[in-house]
Amino acid sequence: MKFGIVVNEGPYQHQSSDSAYLFCKAAIAKGHQVWRVFFYHDGVNNASKLTEPPQDDRNIVNRWSTLNEEHGVDLVVCVAAALRRGIREENLAKGFRISGLGQLVEAGIQTERTVVFGD
Amino acid sequence: MSEGNNIKKFMFVNRKAPYGTIYALEALEVVLITAAFDQNVSLVFLDDGVYQLKKAQQTKGIETKNFSPAYRALEGYDVEKLYVEKESLEARGLTEADLLVDVIVLGCKELGELMDQQDVVLSF
Amino acid sequence: MLHIINKSPLTNSSLDSCLRVAQSGDILLIEDAVYAATFGNAFEGKIREAMGRFKIYVLQPDLEARGFADRIIAGVLPVDYGGFVDLTTTNKNCQSWL
Protein backbone atom coordinates (compact mmCIF):
# COMPACT_ATOMS: atom_id res chain seq x y z
CA MET A 1 0.00 0.00 0.00
CA LYS A 2 1.07 3.58 -0.67
CA PHE A 3 1.38 5.86 2.38
CA GLY A 4 1.57 9.59 2.90
CA ILE A 5 2.83 10.75 6.29
CA VAL A 6 2.42 14.17 7.91
CA VAL A 7 4.75 15.30 10.70
CA ASN A 8 3.56 18.35 12.63
CA GLU A 9 6.15 18.63 15.39
CA GLY A 10 9.88 19.23 15.59
CA PRO A 11 12.45 16.63 16.62
CA TYR A 12 13.34 15.92 20.27
CA GLN A 13 10.67 18.22 21.77
CA HIS A 14 7.83 15.83 20.89
CA GLN A 15 7.73 12.11 20.28
CA SER A 16 5.70 12.54 17.09
CA SER A 17 8.75 12.68 14.82
CA ASP A 18 10.08 9.43 16.34
CA SER A 19 6.69 7.74 16.05
CA ALA A 20 6.40 8.81 12.42
CA TYR A 21 9.87 7.51 11.62
CA LEU A 22 9.30 4.15 13.32
CA PHE A 23 5.96 3.84 11.53
CA CYS A 24 7.66 4.49 8.16
CA LYS A 25 10.38 1.95 8.91
CA ALA A 26 7.81 -0.69 9.85
CA ALA A 27 5.67 0.05 6.79
CA ILE A 28 8.67 -0.32 4.46
CA ALA A 29 9.70 -3.55 6.22
CA LYS A 30 6.24 -4.90 5.45
CA GLY A 31 6.65 -4.13 1.77
CA HIS A 32 4.56 -0.96 1.70
CA GLN A 33 5.66 2.23 0.03
CA VAL A 34 6.08 5.48 1.95
CA TRP A 35 5.50 7.81 -0.94
CA ARG A 36 6.00 11.11 0.85
CA VAL A 37 6.59 12.54 4.31
CA PHE A 38 5.30 16.09 4.57
CA PHE A 39 6.74 18.27 7.33
CA TYR A 40 4.45 21.01 8.56
CA HIS A 41 4.18 23.40 11.54
CA ASP A 42 7.28 22.92 13.76
CA GLY A 43 7.78 19.65 11.88
CA VAL A 44 9.91 21.65 9.43
CA ASN A 45 12.66 21.63 12.07
CA ASN A 46 13.21 17.96 11.26
CA ALA A 47 14.99 19.21 8.14
CA SER A 48 17.69 21.36 9.74
CA LYS A 49 21.22 20.14 9.00
CA LEU A 50 22.45 22.34 11.87
CA THR A 51 20.93 19.86 14.32
CA GLU A 52 23.57 18.24 16.52
CA PRO A 53 22.30 15.88 19.20
CA PRO A 54 24.59 14.49 21.93
CA GLN A 55 26.72 11.49 20.87
CA ASP A 56 24.64 8.93 22.74
CA ASP A 57 21.30 10.10 21.31
CA ARG A 58 19.57 9.19 18.07
CA ASN A 59 20.11 11.53 15.14
CA ILE A 60 16.57 12.24 14.02
CA VAL A 61 17.51 14.40 11.03
CA ASN A 62 20.00 11.87 9.66
CA ARG A 63 17.46 9.07 10.10
CA TRP A 64 15.09 10.87 7.75
CA SER A 65 17.89 11.51 5.24
CA THR A 66 18.72 7.80 5.27
CA LEU A 67 15.09 6.91 4.63
CA ASN A 68 15.23 9.09 1.54
CA GLU A 69 18.53 7.66 0.39
CA GLU A 70 17.71 3.99 0.92
CA HIS A 71 14.01 3.87 0.13
CA GLY A 72 13.38 6.94 -2.01
CA VAL A 73 10.99 8.46 0.49
CA ASP A 74 10.14 11.98 -0.69
CA LEU A 75 10.83 14.36 2.22
CA VAL A 76 8.95 17.61 1.66
CA VAL A 77 9.17 20.64 3.92
CA CYS A 78 6.37 23.21 3.69
CA VAL A 79 7.84 26.46 2.38
CA ALA A 80 5.56 28.84 4.30
CA ALA A 81 6.04 27.01 7.60
CA ALA A 82 9.79 26.71 6.95
CA LEU A 83 10.38 30.40 6.20
CA ARG A 84 8.50 31.35 9.36
CA ARG A 85 10.92 29.22 11.35
CA GLY A 86 14.20 29.97 9.62
CA ILE A 87 14.50 26.76 7.62
CA ARG A 88 15.86 27.56 4.16
CA GLU A 89 17.70 25.86 1.30
CA GLU A 90 21.08 26.70 2.85
CA ASN A 91 20.42 24.81 6.09
CA LEU A 92 18.40 21.96 4.62
CA ALA A 93 19.67 18.46 5.44
CA LYS A 94 20.34 15.88 2.70
CA GLY A 95 17.32 14.31 1.06
CA PHE A 96 14.82 17.03 2.04
CA ARG A 97 13.27 19.50 -0.36
CA ILE A 98 11.24 22.66 0.21
CA SER A 99 7.94 23.00 -1.58
CA GLY A 100 4.38 24.25 -1.25
CA LEU A 101 1.39 23.03 0.69
CA GLY A 102 0.03 21.59 -2.54
CA GLN A 103 2.45 18.70 -1.95
CA LEU A 104 0.49 17.76 1.15
CA VAL A 105 -2.80 17.78 -0.73
CA GLU A 106 -1.21 15.79 -3.53
CA ALA A 107 -0.05 13.17 -1.01
CA GLY A 108 -3.64 12.88 0.20
CA ILE A 109 -4.83 12.37 -3.37
CA GLN A 110 -2.09 10.02 -4.59
CA THR A 111 -1.68 7.71 -1.60
CA GLU A 112 -4.09 5.19 -0.15
CA ARG A 113 -3.58 6.23 3.48
CA THR A 114 -2.51 9.50 5.05
CA VAL A 115 -1.30 9.16 8.63
CA VAL A 116 -0.76 12.30 10.72
CA PHE A 117 1.74 12.55 13.59
CA GLY A 118 1.64 15.60 15.82
CA ASP A 119 0.83 16.96 19.21
CA MET B 1 -13.79 18.59 -11.37
CA SER B 2 -12.93 16.79 -14.60
CA GLU B 3 -11.05 13.78 -13.19
CA GLY B 4 -13.87 12.19 -11.27
CA ASN B 5 -11.93 9.30 -9.76
CA ASN B 6 -9.31 11.65 -8.36
CA ILE B 7 -11.74 13.49 -6.14
CA LYS B 8 -11.33 12.54 -2.54
CA LYS B 9 -13.13 13.50 0.61
CA PHE B 10 -10.79 15.64 2.70
CA MET B 11 -11.81 16.51 6.23
CA PHE B 12 -9.96 19.01 8.37
CA VAL B 13 -10.56 18.53 12.05
CA ASN B 14 -9.92 21.62 14.18
CA ARG B 15 -9.77 20.92 17.89
CA LYS B 16 -7.51 23.75 19.04
CA ALA B 17 -8.22 27.33 20.05
CA PRO B 18 -6.64 30.18 18.05
CA TYR B 19 -3.63 32.36 19.05
CA GLY B 20 -2.38 30.20 21.93
CA THR B 21 -0.73 28.08 19.27
CA ILE B 22 -0.31 28.46 15.50
CA TYR B 23 -2.22 25.27 14.60
CA ALA B 24 -5.51 27.00 13.72
CA LEU B 25 -3.87 29.50 11.37
CA GLU B 26 -1.69 26.94 9.60
CA ALA B 27 -4.67 24.58 9.29
CA LEU B 28 -6.58 27.33 7.53
CA GLU B 29 -3.68 27.81 5.12
CA VAL B 30 -3.91 24.13 4.13
CA VAL B 31 -7.66 24.37 3.65
CA LEU B 32 -7.28 27.28 1.24
CA ILE B 33 -4.72 25.35 -0.82
CA THR B 34 -6.81 22.17 -0.82
CA ALA B 35 -9.75 24.14 -2.20
CA ALA B 36 -7.67 24.88 -5.31
CA PHE B 37 -7.34 21.12 -5.98
CA ASP B 38 -11.08 20.64 -6.56
CA GLN B 39 -11.45 18.08 -3.79
CA ASN B 40 -14.47 17.42 -1.63
CA VAL B 41 -13.49 19.52 1.39
CA SER B 42 -15.15 19.75 4.77
CA LEU B 43 -14.08 21.44 8.00
CA VAL B 44 -14.99 20.30 11.45
CA PHE B 45 -14.79 22.44 14.57
CA LEU B 46 -14.75 20.36 17.67
CA ASP B 47 -13.83 20.96 21.32
CA ASP B 48 -11.76 24.17 21.66
CA GLY B 49 -11.68 24.37 17.86
CA VAL B 50 -15.08 26.08 18.00
CA TYR B 51 -13.35 29.11 19.55
CA GLN B 52 -11.72 29.71 16.15
CA LEU B 53 -15.10 30.86 14.85
CA LYS B 54 -16.00 33.24 17.70
CA LYS B 55 -17.16 36.68 16.58
CA ALA B 56 -15.44 39.89 17.71
CA GLN B 57 -11.82 38.69 17.75
CA GLN B 58 -9.58 41.74 18.32
CA THR B 59 -5.89 40.95 18.11
CA LYS B 60 -4.34 44.41 18.11
CA GLY B 61 -3.30 44.13 21.74
CA ILE B 62 -1.32 40.93 21.15
CA GLU B 63 0.28 42.29 17.95
CA THR B 64 -0.81 39.22 16.01
CA LYS B 65 -2.75 39.03 12.75
CA ASN B 66 -6.48 38.47 13.20
CA PHE B 67 -7.09 35.68 10.71
CA SER B 68 -10.71 35.04 11.64
CA PRO B 69 -12.15 37.00 8.66
CA ALA B 70 -10.60 34.33 6.43
CA TYR B 71 -13.26 31.83 7.58
CA ARG B 72 -15.83 34.05 5.91
CA ALA B 73 -13.81 34.00 2.70
CA LEU B 74 -13.95 30.19 2.48
CA GLU B 75 -17.27 30.34 0.68
CA GLY B 76 -15.54 32.15 -2.19
CA TYR B 77 -13.24 29.13 -2.53
CA ASP B 78 -16.25 26.78 -2.67
CA VAL B 79 -15.53 25.49 0.83
CA GLU B 80 -19.02 25.50 2.21
CA LYS B 81 -19.14 22.50 4.50
CA LEU B 82 -18.28 23.87 7.92
CA TYR B 83 -19.46 21.54 10.66
CA VAL B 84 -19.59 22.42 14.33
CA GLU B 85 -20.28 19.85 17.00
CA LYS B 86 -23.34 20.71 19.06
CA GLU B 87 -21.93 19.30 22.30
CA SER B 88 -18.73 21.35 21.95
CA LEU B 89 -20.70 24.58 21.45
CA GLU B 90 -22.94 23.90 24.42
CA ALA B 91 -20.08 22.96 26.70
CA ARG B 92 -18.58 26.40 26.00
CA GLY B 93 -21.77 28.37 26.48
CA LEU B 94 -21.92 29.32 22.81
CA THR B 95 -24.65 29.28 20.18
CA GLU B 96 -24.56 29.68 16.41
CA ALA B 97 -25.23 33.40 16.93
CA ASP B 98 -21.77 33.74 18.51
CA LEU B 99 -20.04 32.46 15.37
CA LEU B 100 -18.74 34.68 12.58
CA VAL B 101 -19.75 32.39 9.72
CA ASP B 102 -22.67 30.15 8.76
CA VAL B 103 -22.11 26.60 9.94
CA ILE B 104 -23.90 23.28 10.05
CA VAL B 105 -24.38 22.16 13.63
CA LEU B 106 -24.23 18.40 14.09
CA GLY B 107 -24.65 16.17 17.10
CA CYS B 108 -21.66 14.00 18.03
CA LYS B 109 -23.20 10.88 16.55
CA GLU B 110 -23.83 12.40 13.10
CA LEU B 111 -20.36 13.91 13.15
CA GLY B 112 -18.84 10.51 13.89
CA GLU B 113 -20.70 9.01 10.95
CA LEU B 114 -19.46 11.79 8.68
CA MET B 115 -15.86 11.14 9.77
CA ASP B 116 -16.23 7.47 8.89
CA GLN B 117 -17.03 8.43 5.28
CA GLN B 118 -13.83 10.43 4.68
CA ASP B 119 -10.80 9.45 2.62
CA VAL B 120 -8.29 11.78 4.21
CA VAL B 121 -8.66 13.24 7.70
CA LEU B 122 -6.12 15.90 8.54
CA SER B 123 -5.74 17.26 12.03
CA PHE B 124 -3.17 19.73 13.27
CA MET C 1 -11.99 3.94 10.95
CA LEU C 2 -8.80 3.78 12.98
CA HIS C 3 -8.66 6.40 15.71
CA ILE C 4 -5.15 7.23 16.90
CA ILE C 5 -4.79 8.87 20.31
CA ASN C 6 -1.50 10.18 21.71
CA LYS C 7 -2.41 12.04 24.92
CA SER C 8 -2.92 10.91 28.49
CA PRO C 9 -6.66 10.92 29.20
CA LEU C 10 -5.94 12.31 32.66
CA THR C 11 -4.65 15.65 31.35
CA ASN C 12 -6.21 15.98 27.91
CA SER C 13 -9.70 15.46 26.51
CA SER C 14 -8.79 13.93 23.15
CA LEU C 15 -9.64 10.35 24.14
CA ASP C 16 -12.87 11.54 25.78
CA SER C 17 -13.79 13.41 22.59
CA CYS C 18 -12.98 10.40 20.46
CA LEU C 19 -15.17 8.16 22.62
CA ARG C 20 -18.01 10.70 22.38
CA VAL C 21 -17.85 11.31 18.62
CA ALA C 22 -16.62 8.05 17.11
CA GLN C 23 -19.30 5.43 16.78
CA SER C 24 -17.24 2.30 16.21
CA GLY C 25 -13.98 1.03 14.78
CA ASP C 26 -10.51 0.60 16.21
CA ILE C 27 -8.72 2.82 18.72
CA LEU C 28 -4.94 2.77 18.95
CA LEU C 29 -3.27 4.31 21.99
CA ILE C 30 0.27 5.59 21.33
CA GLU C 31 2.80 7.88 23.04
CA ASP C 32 1.29 9.41 26.22
CA ALA C 33 -2.09 7.80 25.53
CA VAL C 34 -0.73 4.39 26.52
CA TYR C 35 -1.52 5.18 30.17
CA ALA C 36 -5.17 4.79 29.18
CA ALA C 37 -4.47 1.13 28.42
CA THR C 38 -3.45 0.46 32.02
CA PHE C 39 -5.46 -0.46 35.07
CA GLY C 40 -5.71 1.28 38.41
CA ASN C 41 -6.21 4.84 37.17
CA ALA C 42 -9.24 7.12 37.12
CA PHE C 43 -9.92 6.49 33.42
CA GLU C 44 -10.05 2.69 33.57
CA GLY C 45 -13.84 2.52 33.86
CA LYS C 46 -14.28 4.52 30.65
CA ILE C 47 -11.94 2.23 28.75
CA ARG C 48 -13.76 -0.86 29.99
CA GLU C 49 -17.04 0.70 28.91
CA ALA C 50 -15.62 1.63 25.49
CA MET C 51 -14.43 -1.94 24.88
CA GLY C 52 -18.00 -2.87 24.02
CA ARG C 53 -18.06 -0.50 21.06
CA PHE C 54 -14.42 -0.43 19.95
CA LYS C 55 -11.46 -2.72 19.65
CA ILE C 56 -8.75 -1.05 21.69
CA TYR C 57 -5.06 -1.46 20.86
CA VAL C 58 -1.96 -0.12 22.57
CA LEU C 59 1.50 0.44 21.11
CA GLN C 60 3.63 -1.92 23.18
CA PRO C 61 7.01 -0.13 22.73
CA ASP C 62 5.45 3.08 24.12
CA LEU C 63 3.95 1.16 27.04
CA GLU C 64 7.26 -0.54 27.83
CA ALA C 65 9.16 2.75 27.61
CA ARG C 66 6.93 4.16 30.33
CA GLY C 67 7.26 1.18 32.64
CA PHE C 68 3.69 -0.02 32.34
CA ALA C 69 4.05 -3.23 30.32
CA ASP C 70 2.73 -5.29 33.26
CA ARG C 71 -0.39 -3.19 33.90
CA ILE C 72 -2.32 -3.58 30.68
CA ILE C 73 -6.09 -3.91 31.03
CA ALA C 74 -7.20 -7.43 30.00
CA GLY C 75 -8.76 -7.22 26.57
CA VAL C 76 -6.66 -4.28 25.34
CA LEU C 77 -4.55 -5.63 22.50
CA PRO C 78 -0.82 -4.83 22.35
CA VAL C 79 0.75 -4.18 18.93
CA ASP C 80 4.23 -3.23 17.73
CA TYR C 81 4.91 -0.68 14.96
CA GLY C 82 4.21 -3.37 12.36
CA GLY C 83 0.84 -3.93 14.02
CA PHE C 84 0.25 -0.17 13.91
CA VAL C 85 0.87 -0.27 10.14
CA ASP C 86 -1.51 -3.22 9.79
CA LEU C 87 -4.26 -1.31 11.61
CA THR C 88 -3.96 1.55 9.10
CA THR C 89 -4.35 -0.86 6.21
CA THR C 90 -7.18 -3.00 7.60
CA ASN C 91 -9.23 0.12 8.39
CA LYS C 92 -10.35 2.08 5.36
CA ASN C 93 -9.30 5.41 6.86
CA CYS C 94 -7.66 6.83 9.95
CA GLN C 95 -7.72 9.89 12.12
CA SER C 96 -5.21 11.24 14.61
CA TRP C 97 -6.95 13.01 17.48
CA LEU C 98 -4.38 15.74 18.01
For the complex shown, is ipTM > 0.95?
yes
For residue A117, list its beta bridge partners: A7
Nearest one of A61, A89, A117, C11 to B124, comparing CA atoms: A117
Provide the pLDDT for residue A103.
98
Residue in chain A closest to C32 (alpha carbons) equals A15
Strands (E), chain B: 9-14, 40-45, 81-85, 104-106, 120-123
Q: Is residue B2 pLDDT above 60, yes or no?
A: no
Domain span holding position B62: 9-123
Domains defined for chain C, CATH in brackets: 2-97 (3.40.1260.10)
Residues in chain B, how many?
A: 124
pLDDT at A26 over 50: yes
B31: in domain: yes
Q: What are phi and psi of A59, to 5 degrees?
A: -100, 95
The number of distinct structural domains making up chain B is: 1
d(CA A74, CA A95): 8
CB contacts of A118 in chain B (<8 Å) are 123-124
Distance from CA of B30 to the nearest CA of A (A): 6
**What's the DSSP call for residue A4?**
E
Query: pTM above the 0.90 mark?
Result: yes
SS3 state of residue B92: coil
CATH number at residue B41: 3.40.1260.10
Which residue ranges in chain C fall short of pLDDT 50?
A: none
Please state the rounded mean pLDDT for residues A40-62: 97
